[in-house]
Structure 1
Amino acid sequence: MIFAINEINNSTELLPGIKLGYQIYDSCASVPVAVHSAFQLLNGWDSAIDKDSSCSQSGGVVAVVGDSGSTPSISMSRIIGSFNIPLVSYFATCACLSDKQQYPTFFRTIPSDQFQADALAKLVKHFGWTWIGVVRSDTDYGNYGVASFLNAAQKVGICVEYSESFLRTDAQSKIQRVADVIRRSTALIVVAFIDSGDLPVLLDELALEPPPPRQWIISEGWITDPYLMTYSFCEGAIGFAIQKSIIPGLKEFLLDLSPTEVASSSVLTEFWEDAFNCSLKTINKTDKRLCDGNEDLKMLKNSYTDTSQLRISNMVYKAVYAIAHAIHNAVCRETVVSTKCDEDLRSDSEQIFKKLQKVYFFRNGYPVSFDANGDPVAFYELVNWQKSESGVFELVTVGYYDASLPKGQEFHVNNNISWLKGSTQVPVSVCSERCPPGTRKVLQKGKPICCYDCIPCPEGEISNTTDSSDCSPCPSELWPNAQRDACFPKPVEFLSYDEVLAIILAAFSVSGACLAIITAAIFFHHRTTPIVRANNSELSFLLLFSLTLCFLCSLTFIGAPSDWSCMLRHTAFGITFVLCISCVLGKTVVVLMAFKATLPGSNVMKWFGPPQQRMTIVIFTFVQVIICTVWLLLSPPFPMKNLSTYKEKIILECALGSAVGFWAVLGYIGLLAVFCFVLAVLARKLPDNFNEAKLITFSMLIFCAVWLTFIPAYVSSPGKLTVAVEIFAILASSFGLILCIFAPKCFIILFQPEKNSKKYLMNKS
């Protein structure tokens, strides 16, 4: 401060001809002392500040620089603000001081903690930390700073495991409790909004036991404090600091101290004796040697002589120059030739206050101005405690935060960061590990939103992002993969020819058709024999032809359904089976009529001869053709994708179109089968050895049993099994007819030819 005032008083551009006076108080970081100093400043001085005749005899205070702490600054601002005296602080960062209704005359050259809180939240979010602990000084600086930080952290999804406060004057038990909370916590990251005077108390307590591995995120209050950098377990600490700067000439000013100047100041005397470990006075009880006058400040290596890391000092420098510029703008007038200042015009504090609001200038390359809240433009350096080759901590700048940049571009960080224990890997601090795709987050009861369990997505749903809060269902024709992080087309299922089941059914179908053809060939070859002629060879050949079609129509049920195959499979099945049953019915009626014709005076056979038999078969079959035609015209079967039977696959099947048409076709077949079965039962005890009634009765019993069991099996079978059940019913009933009716006759023809004679035919049982 003295250096800056000397520069201003020696300047020919700023306040030419006017000398600034000053008085410095030590508030001792105490609110009562700061308030006492404020009242002293307001009371003014009875004697002249300077004995030179050029100075005013009673200098009124027009502005105050300070205090360094937020709480003392609040108290002082409330007092001197009543007199419109501006208070320009260089280190009071509490966001509460930006409230112009409560602190209208407060200004500061250091950014508000609101900016630092936003920057710290962005820093924590940048490295993916969602589970942190917070410790703070129980002061306005700590409490308001943490409140701003927690508000910013909540917006970006950061959770706080604990938030503890303390003061260096607290009981040791409380300090120990705070340290134990840090030790027991699961959060690896500790954000510390602590005054540099409070922190050593906590760090000393943590050092009593093996300190826990914690990554310290430090506020500007102590990130650059060289004393605190001696705690080795804080290695890798990172935080925002006030921008580093160089003040030309300051180092030479600091080193230019004569023994006379030192001896005349109690502060400088204490500093000198401590720096050189000697006494300027006589030997005292501390047994220090007497200073011999050869002590050289240039040989010292400490924070006093190191002006390469000036941060807070530059804020003081800016504050003094801001006040000087405000006074200059109040009492000086720029002319074309030079600057004229009215030395006799005494500026009042209210005028300085108004001019201070509009101050804008550059000093040593840095802009100085205040916004409507009395705050400067926020700029922070991101600094990291890195261990040098000599084993001591050094401050290394690894990024910055510039609030003047567009939103989203304020924060920049490079990768040259040393973390706790010297690691180059970014530490991980989360309450719960991130949920991978295919799962969703379920919050743990009674815990913050960062603590959750990862639950697999339910059936039919996916999540394709990390930490998804919900799962979304796949579209109707898609299904999740095994990981449930993507939807893929559902497999389409139908009874394909390359399936084992389809191959077996097709083989039986072709075998049945071949069996019918072979039987027809045997009958044709032995068409003149009694056993063939006695059983109505014309109906037998027609029955074998219809059975061949029945066997082959089952092939239309295999393969991918199409428009033509869906219509063909049901209509072909319905018509061929009616033709088959009609032939069996005709053979049954012929047996009954033949027996009636043997009675004396009976001429029944002339009413049911071959023409009538053919006409009966045509009529019965034509009725089924009419039913199928109406079905196809009104609502034919069509291929469809069945999405309801199975969730994970699509069943490609033939929809019935009209269920009435389908059941009408089946019902008509069933009606003929029952009628034929009844007639066969009536004729089962006729005395002819070649009587087919017994064989027809047994075949129709099998036929009816197959189709009665088909109905519940068809309704309950899912997917392609429905088609397989229908094919099985067709094949089973067809094999039942051909084996029951024709197998005994073929056996006689081939293996018992002696029974294939007229004599055996006429033999009565």
Structure 2
Amino acid sequence: MIGGIVTHAGLISTSEKTFTEQPLPAELEDLVVVPKNFQNILALVFGIKEINENPQVLPNLTLGFCIYDSYNNAKRTYHATMLLLSALERLIPNYNCNLQNNLLAVIGGLDSQISLHVATILDIYKLPQIIYGSAPVMNDKTPGLTFYQMVPQEVLQNMGILSLLLHFRWTWIGMLIMDDENGERFVQTVFPYFSKKHVCFAFIEKIPKFRLISEFSGMFKHAAKIYDQMMGGKVNALVVYGDSYSLVLLRWFKYLPNIEKVTANPKGIVWIMTAQVELTSLVYQKDWDAEIFNGALALTTHSNDLPGFKPFLESRNPSSMKADGFIKDFWQHAFGCAFLDQVLGNEDEKVCTGEEKLESLPGTFFEMSMTGHSYSIYNAVYALAHALHAMSSLKLKERAMAGRGWLKLQNQGSWQLYHFLGGVSFNNSAGNKVSFDQSGSLVAGFDVINWIVSPNRSFHRVKVGSVDPQAPPDQALRINKEVIIWHSWFNQTQPLSLCTESCRPGTNKQLQEGKPFCCYNCNQCPEGKISEHEDTDDCHTCPEKKYPNENQDFCIPKIITFLSYTEPLGLSLAFFVLSLSLLTALVIGIFMKHHNTPIVIANNRDLTYGLLVSLLLCFLCVFLFIGQPQKVTCLLRQTTFGIIFSVAVSCVLAKTITVVLAFMATKPGSKIRKWLGKRLASSIVLSCSFIQTGICTVWLAMNPSFPDIDIHSVAGEIVMECNEGSVTMFSCVLGYMGFLSVASFTVAFFARELPDSFNEAKFITFSMLVFCSVWLSFVPTYLSTKGKYMVAVEIFSILASSAGLLGCNFFPKCYIILLKPELNNREHLIRRKE
């Protein structure tokens, strides 16, 4: 015989053979029934009926059953458990002489605490209990009680809920839990787990335990507080960890604004129900609107429809179930009528015909499809049958070998059934495999069910996904969100449940002080950094060869740049180089054509040609700076520029000194005349140039320039450049050239007032003034620019300073040679100012 302990909800004690009807105890008179749970009894009856009619399972054995009601009360639970262990209809502890009604196991009630009460007694007799509700909370004082659970391990359910929240990006949630140890355990388990995955709790409230109807009024103030938290904030997703009666209380929320003062307006909520929660109604709630739960998502133990169960339900009525002593109670509560033998003289009371149809009842009151709890009971019956079959087969073998009788099995076999349950593995009539893991939990996954509740009181469950226990945690959830029906409040768009709208890519999160980590501000990423995903904690820099786009949400490959002939800047500079080079060559041609004229002779022809050639080379060396940097061009560009410019400035310095010495030599008795001549000028040019050549030689020998790339200076560009190798040597080259320029400028400045009618020192002064101005402005400009524009600044300085030397020194002379030839005579040159 299989015993059943159920919770008061229309599940009243009965047996297939006998039953007794006793008045309720005084303390339970106000307790109301939940007719929907009558299906749990029918599932047990259906399972046992199938087994007894199947010769393949338990041949030559017949299963019976006896069901007692716990009335959700510890005292009555202990009493019912003792009745299961005693003779029928008589409570005599430890006495049961009916060997045909041998108790093998007990299928526990919905409430975990009831299962714990039952287990404390069954443990004495070593009888197994299969529970189909949530597992009781054990503590150090709890004895080593044995259970088998017809639900998967709770950790899988927790993982499924978290996966559901993350899938829909519901990170700001509320939670309702049972006001008992199970609820506390659930919070302690999931709180750190959910927080680690960035799910925050706006509030956690306790659902009062199922109470008597007379105590409801005291709970409304607490319910009003929960209502305001649910409806008044940004929370749109609410996790409910409850029992089968939780929604009986939550259904009051629809009508709470009419009972208690609330501040929040009603809105849609996505209810996320755990496996134990059922949408049920008390008798007085039969016609209540349950639309508040429309669109809820519930996790239920994986199940399929059982063939034959719906016809079995349809065949049940008071007329066909003479032995069922409590179907009449269910019938009267479900259909709101009374049988003739129970009518108390009220003429207005509806009389039950017994022909009422179960399918006409609202889905929240009674379902024709099997609920999750009923499915678990059905599987529990079959699990016990298969375990008993395995045990009896073993006993038959032992009897054949030892000659022992079947009586021994009856007297001593029950306590061994627990161990056989652990090895049970079979496929039920729906095709689902039933087996237990090492902890005694069902090896199965969860289905994700969408509750569809219509205003006309219809209630449908639609499977929209599953949680696979065999898959990796991040892939366990499979869901088809396209078929989900959301609450009408959301207008069939996926709801959001966020404390803060997601930070778009290109921004990062900044936590709000004093609030949970799900509440934050969104700040733009700093310059040069990006964030590619929403809700990024920190921005990061791009790889070296990439740079942020304008929105700072992804990296773009940098383009390779250098001062090229194909771009306008490079082409313009090349044009100026050619123009100035041709102009210099023209000046050289003019001077060579008028080689023997006084103005050419008077200005030291050798120095003049040396200066013009060096200026021509200065212009042409610019071509070393334009184009893609190569090893040869990098080696030559700065050294060539430094040496040629030093030659040019040295020529200017030599010309200036020659002018000064020539004037001083005209004084009577001057000994300076012997210093005049080509040797002095050549010595000045060679010595000054040699020093610069030495500096460049040391530079090339120690740390020469080389081709390099700069990926940091210019955003979005990889600049191909010549690395100068040694900044110190580059500074020395420029510094020495500056020294020569200052020296030339100083000497020319003091000689500018010499009395010649054509005083070259004036022009040298102007040319060196331009030269020094250009190179003094070059230094800050060069240091403040980046990339290819640094090269352009140096080229411009070379061209401008060279053009200044060319223009200031030679354009006046060309003017006289070409346009004023009458001035190009010796008399004019030696004429002094009066």
Q: Which amino acid aligns with 2:133?
A: A
Change in Cα spacing, 1:502 to 1:177, as seen in structure 2 (3 Å) is same
SS in structure 1 at match of 2:251: helix
Matches within 5 A, 1:67-466: 67-89=109-131, 91-94=132-135, 96=137, 102-140=143-181, 142-145=183-186, 147-150=188-191, 153-154=194-195, 156-167=197-208, 168-169=210-211, 171-209=219-257, 211-223=266-278, 225=280, 230-242=289-301, 243-246=303-306, 248=308, 255=315, 267-274=326-333, 275=335, 277-281=337-341, 283-288=343-348, 295-296=354-355, 301-302=360-361, 307-309=368-370, 311-323=372-384, 333-334=395-396, 342-343=406-407, 346-348=410-412, 349-360=414-425, 364=429, 367-386=433-452, 392-401=458-467, 403=469, 411-414=477-480, 415-421=482-488, 424-466=492-534
What does the per-residue CA deviation read over 1:365-395, in whole Å, with 9 as the maximum and x for residues that have no partner? 5555444433332344433223679772222
> Equivalents in 2 of 1:528, 1:376: separation in Å?
117
Aligned residues: 758
> Equivalents in 1 of 2:126, 2:509: separation in Å?
56
Shift of 1:418: 1.6
| Larger displacement relative to structure 2 (221-230 or 455-464) | 221-230
> Equivalents in 1 of 2:472, 2:762: separation in Å?
100
Report if the CA contact (8 A) 2:646-2:737 is conserved. Answer: yes
Change in Cα spacing, 1:87 to 1:650, as seen in structure 2 (3 Å) is closer
Change in Cα spacing, 1:758 to 1:250, as seen in structure 2 (3 Å) is closer
| Larger displacement relative to structure 2 (360-369 or 430-439) | 360-369
Matches within 5 A, 1:470-489: 470-489=538-557
> Equivalents in 1 of 2:289, 2:576: separation in Å?
91
Report if the CA contact (8 A) 1:14-1:324 is conserved. Answer: yes
Shift of 1:231: 0.6
SS in structure 2 at match of 1:179: helix
Change in Cα spacing, 1:320 to 1:48, as seen in structure 2 (3 Å) is farther
Change in Cα spacing, 1:402 to 1:542, as seen in structure 2 (3 Å) is closer
Change in Cα spacing, 1:102 to 1:481, as seen in structure 2 (3 Å) is farther
> Equivalents in 1 of 2:592, 2:438: separation in Å?
115
TM-score of the superposition, structure 1-length normalised? 0.83
Structure with max Cα Rg: 1
> Equivalents in 1 of 2:165, 2:337: separation in Å?
44
What does the per-residue CA deviation read over 1:419-450, in whole Å, with 9 as the maximum and x for residues that have no partner? 21295543332333344433333333343343
> Equivalents in 2 of 1:603, 1:524: separation in Å?
33
> Equivalents in 2 of 1:375, 1:627: separation in Å?
87
Shift of 1:637: 3.0
> Equivalents in 1 of 2:672, 2:197: separation in Å?
101
Q: Which amino acid aligns with 1:68?
A: L
Change in Cα spacing, 1:128 to 1:681, as seen in structure 2 (3 Å) is closer
Report if the CA contact (8 A) 2:359-2:367 is conserved. Answer: no
Shift of 1:158: 3.0
Report if the CA contact (8 A) 2:116-2:136 is conserved. Answer: no
SS in structure 1 at match of 2:522: strand
Shift of 1:66: 2.4
Partner of 1:24: 67
Report if the CA contact (8 A) 2:137-2:182 is conserved. Answer: no
SS in structure 1 at match of 2:449: strand
> Equivalents in 2 of 1:681, 1:10: separation in Å?
128
> Equivalents in 1 of 2:161, 2:82: separation in Å?
37
What does the per-residue CA deviation read over 1:113-138, in whole Å, with 9 as the maximum and x for residues that have no partner? 44433333333333333232221332
Shift of 1:235: 1.6
Q: Which amino acid aligns with 1:214?
A: I
Change in Cα spacing, 1:73 to 1:513, as seen in structure 2 (3 Å) is same
> Equivalents in 1 of 2:369, 2:440: separation in Å?
28
SS in structure 2 at match of 1:123: helix
What does the per-residue CA deviation read over 1:602-646, in whole Å, with 9 as the maximum and x for residues that have no partner? 786565334664565455545544444444344333333345655
Report if the CA contact (8 A) 1:244-1:311 is conserved. Answer: no
Gaps in structure 1 of 5+ consecutive residues: none
Change in Cα spacing, 1:608 to 1:99, as seen in structure 2 (3 Å) is same
Report if the CA contact (8 A) 1:47-1:57 is conserved. Answer: no
Change in Cα spacing, 1:504 to 1:165, as seen in structure 2 (3 Å) is same
SS in structure 1 at match of 2:521: strand
Report if the CA contact (8 A) 1:211-1:233 is conserved. Answer: no
Partner of 1:638: 706
Gaps in structure 2 of 5+ consecutive residues: 1-14, 17-44, 212-217, 258-264
Report if the CA contact (8 A) 1:331-1:345 is conserved. Answer: yes
| Larger displacement relative to structure 2 (665-674 or 453-462) | 665-674
Whether 2:638 is the aligned partner of 1:570: answer yes
Change in Cα spacing, 1:95 to 1:451, as seen in structure 2 (3 Å) is farther
SS in structure 1 at match of 2:411: coil
TM-score of the superposition, structure 2-length normalised? 0.77
| Larger displacement relative to structure 2 (344-353 or 333-342) | 333-342
2:823 to 752, 755, 762: 755
SS in structure 2 at match of 1:24: strand
Q: CA RMSD in A?
A: 4.5
> Equivalents in 2 of 1:750, 1:165: separation in Å?
108
> Equivalents in 1 of 2:783, 2:474: separation in Å?
63
SS in structure 2 at match of 1:547: helix
Shift of 1:285: 4.5
> Equivalents in 2 of 1:281, 1:127: separation in Å?
56
Shift of 1:107: 3.0
Report if the CA contact (8 A) 2:290-2:453 is conserved. Answer: no
Report if the CA contact (8 A) 2:48-2:381 is conserved. Answer: yes
Shift of 1:214: 0.9
Shift of 1:489: 3.9
2:76 to 21, 33, 39: 33
